[in-house]
Amino acid sequence: QVQLVESGGGLVQPGGSLRLSCAASGSIFSINAMGWYRQAPGKQRELVADIASGGTTNYADSVKGRFTISRDNAENTVYLQMDSLKPEDTAVYYCSAEIRRTSFSTNKYRYWGQGTQVTVSS
């Protein structure tokens, strides 16, 4: 009933830029926090950035100053602008969202997108 679909990944040169998008759809009453995670081969999944419904942001130290997370609440969409990309940014990037599904239940659930590949290489 709820789906998160990422887009915008691809192959870029070091120093290049990409903009990732994630749109939530389905049975949604409201969305609380949204965020981006990544997982590189042989490494654990890590938080890249997240953003609260009110706009407060948090970034991993490794991407501070290079990545910017934003959201469009009217469109249930979160973005990740990635600049000055480095080879170590290569990973599958996953969108995540905490979602309240109905007006008559306060329960919130975490959903994940399918992931989009980002490869930084010359």
Q: Are 119 and 90 in contact (CB under 8 A)?
A: yes
pLDDT confidence band for 5 (50 / 70 / 90): very high
Using a pLDDT cut of 70, give the percent of the chain over it: 100
Residue found under tokens 């998008």: 21
pLDDT tens digits along 20-53: 999 999 989 899 999 999 999 999 999 999 999 9
Tell me how crowded residue 65 is: count the other CB atoms within 10 A of its CB: 9
As a whole number, mean pLDDT of residues 1-26 equals 96
- Whether 19 has a pLDDT exceeding 90, the answer reads yes
Residue 56: predicted pLDDT: 96
pLDDT for position 1:
83
Task: List, as one string, the DSSP characters of 51-89.
Answer: E-TT--EEE-GGGTTTEEEEEEGGGTEEEEEE-S--GGG
The band of 12, judged by pLDDT with boundaries at 50, 70 and 90, is: very high
pLDDT at 33: 94
